[in-house]
Amino acid sequence: MSKLSEITATRELILNLTLRELRSRYKRSVLGWAWSMLNPLSTVVIYTIVFKYFFHAQGPVGRPSGLKNFSIYLFCGLTAWNFFNASINGAMGTLVGNAGLIKKVYFPRENLVFATVLSSVVSFLIELGVAIVILLALGNNVLPWIPVILLLVLLETIFVTGLGLIVAVANAYFRDVQYLVGSILLQMLFYLTPIVYEAKVAYDATAGHPVLRRLYTANPTLQFIESFHRVMYDLRWPTASNFVYLFVVSGISLVLGLWVFNRFDGNLAEEL
């Protein structure tokens, strides 16, 4: 049985693992899933106070929406970032966290990563739902753009699944990965992505440095965040080149992730 058909045959297991992740996420919490809304909203409030009132950051004018609101601009980008961050951190620890299960019984270990990412998708959709309600209340009619938003969600899910497979198996072999990626690289990537600032700021700063400009724009998280900004905040389509880039980088990420995971899957039980 090929690896792909093996994973497909165990799709019910993926569903059960996802439900387990969802049930355990806010277990013994009084507010439960309300935290899926409160966490991003509280982050937006804190960042708004710091960056808008201390550093005088201003939200751009949405074109053609005409919306100008720093908190909403921040929220649109932060939802996509939170999904990326939660998926990578969750996937990174899922093999180590399920070492006992892996040693006891055989099943496609990729399923643990898939379940972690899918549980993060649920939180992502809740946050997007909150953002859409707020946008509608402010007069930004984002409803016709929901199919495009869902397409972007699908592409980002494929992208983070590929990366999640890589960091999961890497962390199983080298525990330093969780500290390198979780504490350093993700924090660095957050500030290299236009979430708390407009991408134009970075473009202007790298105007005389074409190599830096290309490196900055090649950042996949930038392309995803900017796409969500365009669709939800501006109410316009991402550029054709942007869509092509997202399709290509998502496909490469998934194929590479599956290959790397399959390459090192054989010794996982021993390494854990």
Report how far residue 166's alpha carbon sits from residue 263's, in angstroms, rounded to the nearest whole number: 11
Residue type, 171: N
Helices (H) and strands (E) in the chain, counts: 14, 0
Joined together, the tokens standing for residue 253 give 């990420």
Q: What's residue 89's pLDDT?
A: 94
Q: What's residue 97's pLDDT?
A: 87
Mean pLDDT by 10 residues, the chain (272 residues): 70 86 74 71 82 78 87 91 94 88 84 93 91 92 96 97 95 90 92 88 84 89 95 93 94 95 81 65
Close Cβ partners of 266 (under 8 Å, ≥ 6 residues apart): none
The owner of tokens 């792909």 is: 4
Report how far residue 236's alpha carbon sits from residue 232's, in angstroms, rounded to the nearest whole number: 8
Q: What's residue 30's pLDDT?
A: 64
Q: What's residue 87's pLDDT?
A: 95
Percentages helix, strand, coil for the chain (3-state, rounded to 5) are 80, 0, 20
Q: What's residue 271's pLDDT?
A: 66
pTM exceeds 0.85: yes
The owner of tokens 């507010």 is: 31
Report how far residue 140's alpha carbon sits from residue 178's, in angstroms, rounded to the nearest whole number: 39
Q: Are 162 and 257 in contact (CB under 8 A)?
A: yes
The 10 Å Cβ neighbour count of residue 45 is: 12
Joined together, the tokens standing for residue 115 give 């379940």
Task: Give the residue extent of every domain in the chain.
Answer: 32-271
Q: What's residue 22's pLDDT?
A: 80
Cα–Cα–Cα angle for 155, 157, 163, rounded to 5 degrees: 105
Report how far residue 130's alpha carbon sits from residue 190's, in angstroms, rounded to the nearest whole number: 22
Nearest to 158 by CA among 225, 243, 91, 246: 246
